[in-house]
Every structure is written in structure tokens, then in C-alpha cells.
Amino acid sequence: MSLIVQKFGGSSVADAESIKRVAKRIVETRKAGNEVVVAVSAMGDTTDELIDLAHQVSPIPDPREMDMLLTTGERISMALLAMAIRDMGFEARSYTGSQAGMITDARHGAARIVDVTPGRVREALDEGAIAIVAGFQGFNRDSRDITTLGRGGSDTTAVALAAALGAEVCEIYTDVDGVFTADPRVVPKAHKLSRVTSEEMLELAAAGAKVLYIRAVEYARRHGVTLHVRSSFNNNEGTWVVNQVEEIPWKSPSSRVSPATSARRRSPSWVCRMCPERPPRSSRSSPRPAPTST
């Protein structure tokens, strides 16, 4: 039995029908005989709306209270997703970041993960349940406060869980089919990359590509986690992010197409042609200078 971590962003769980569609995909992965852990973001524009509301109440919201407010978005998503999975006949349990053992430093708005102790998640898996974890959030042991992880926080949550649990692969679901040479919604001739190394993906992220955030890629490279970036709206093969050029991507049990078994030759200038996934409507940010994420 393989263990798969799946991450679904806000656009993938934007409304009730989207949540049901995501639940169906998760259940299909479980039916294939895999243990499944899911990291989920807040629904659609929930975070933007919470930020706007906070500024209506306070011109400069307190950082601690801002983290308390913003983490409610993921708690909504995780509970609704667990409900949808249960209605499909499978046991699902939702956990906040602190319940899932995401231990961070004390910096509000851009906390760093310092330890992951997913005991309750592992217990749920051992009992046959699907574990749903709220992304983007953690807990500081010293202050005993809730924290948020900053830009790309849900991606980082998923990768950290995959590393701590020894997952075969961490699937990052988004609203595009993978990593492209340019934004396919802007450049019609942009083509998808079947595989990139973690070093190449770090360069892309540093250059502004939003399909994966740099902290999540760094964490995956450091802990040897294989990533599979793919669309939540179809079953197509996405882009594999691997740690070694020679590494052959593991075949995802939730895929219908085999991953590429050889790297495509690329010119050194291909990174420069990479555009962000999309212009962000607003970053998940508080009035503090540190950026935050959806």
C-alpha cells in the first residue's frame, strides 16, 4: 500500500460542487488501495474576503489576531471536504495544522516549520481513514499560538507532511495541467514540461512562477520528496519535479497515464521563458511586510 499526499488549492475547492469533485478524486485514490493524506487551502476568495473584513474593522490588524482570523478559511474547507468524503462511504477526519503536528517558529504571517509530528494523522491512516489537514497553518510550542506559513503555505504543508510520513509522492493540484514554458492562458503556444529537476523548479519559482512556491520546492529538495503538479479538473498527467536527473518519476496510482520515463532536452534559456501561472488577484497578506498565501 502506497501513501499519497494530495494538495488542493482554493480554486479547486471554490464551491460545493468543486468540493464534491475533489472528494471523488480523493476517494478514487483510496479505492486504488492507497493511504491518502490531503492538505487543503481556503475556498476560492475566502482569504481575500477575510483580509478585507479585517481592514474594515482595524486599519492595522494585530498580527496574532490576523493569523487566528485567516486560519478559519482552511478549517471551513477541511471540514466540508471530510463531510463530502464521508457521504461517499469512506471514513475521513479533518485536522487543523496544530492537530496535525505542524510545529513552527513564533513569527506571525510567515512562520517557518521547525518540526512535524503527525501522530494523529498516522493514527487515522492506520485505522483506514483519509486524513484532511488544513494547509497554511501551524502552532508554536513556546507561545502556544496559531501561526500562518506565508506565501505558498498550503504547498509547504503538503510537502512537510509527505516528508514526515514517508509518502511515495506529493501531488499538487492546481487549475493548470502542470508546469509550462509560459502561462498557457496568455501564450497559446506554451507547452507543458513533463519533468523538471528540483533545482530547475527552484529557478522557476525564484523567477516568479506561481505554480509552486519556492519554500515548498526547497523543502521537497531537502527531504527528497517527489512532486507531481497536475490539474484538479482532469486526469491528465502533469509535471514531475524530481531530485535527480536520472530519477524516473514514480507512477501515481491516481493517474491514468504513465509518467514520462526520460527527460526532455531543454536549452539553458528555457527558464527565462517561464511566466507566472497567473497574475494573483491579491496575495494572502496581512498589513505586515511579510507576504502570505492562499
If one compares 287 and 42, the residue with the highest pLDDT of the two is: 42
What's the pLDDT at 262?
Answer: 34
Q: DSSP character for 252? A: P
Q: Letter for the amino acid at 240?
A: W
What is the structure's pLDDT at 268?
28
Q: What average pLDDT does this structure show over 107-125?
A: 97
Q: Helix or strand or coil: residue 248?
A: coil
Q: At 271, give phi and psi (nearest 5°).
A: -60, -40
What ranges make up the beta strands (E) of 164-275?
Answer: 169-174, 195-197, 227-231, 239-242
**What is the fold, at CATH topology level, of the domain defined by 3-273?**
Carbamate kinase (3.40.1160)
**Model confidence at 274: pLDDT above 70:** no
Band the pLDDT of 251: cuts 50, 70, 90.
Answer: low
Contact between residue 249 and residue 242 where contact means Cβ atoms under 8 Å apart: yes
Return the pLDDT at 161: 98
Give 203-244 pLDDT, tens digit per residue. 887 776 778 888 999 999 999 999 999 998 898 999 999 987
The residue written with cell numbers 485567516 in the block is 70
Domains of the chain: which residue ranges?
3-273
Give pLDDT, residue 245. Answer: 53
As a whole number, the mean pLDDT across the chain is 85
Segment (H or E) for 147: strand 146-148
pLDDT band at 115 (very low <50, low <70, confident <90, very high): very high
- The model's pLDDT over 144-203, given as tens digits with 9 standing for 90+, comes to 999 999 988 999 999 999 999 999 999 999 888 898 877 777 888 888 899 999 999 988
Q: What is the mean pLDDT of residues 10-27?
A: 96
